[in-house]
Amino acid sequence: MRSPFILPIATALLIGVPAAGAPAADLKKALCSGEFGTGSGMAGSYVGDNCFLAADSDVERHVQNICAQNSKCEATGMVATVENGNLQIQSVLSVVQVEPPASAK
> Over the stretch 17-67, which tens digit does the pLDDT of each residue have?
444 445 566 899 999 999 999 987 788 999 999 999 999 999 999 999 999
Kindly state whether residue 68 falls inside one of the protein's structural domains: yes
CATH number at residue 37: 2.40.50
**Alpha-helix runs per DSSP H in 6-55:** 6-15
Kindly state whether residue 1 falls inside one of the protein's structural domains: no
The DSSP output letter for 84 is: G
Rounded Cα distance, 61 and 59, in Å? 6
Tally the residues of the chain: 105
pLDDT at 36: 97
Domain of 95, in residue numbers = 6-104
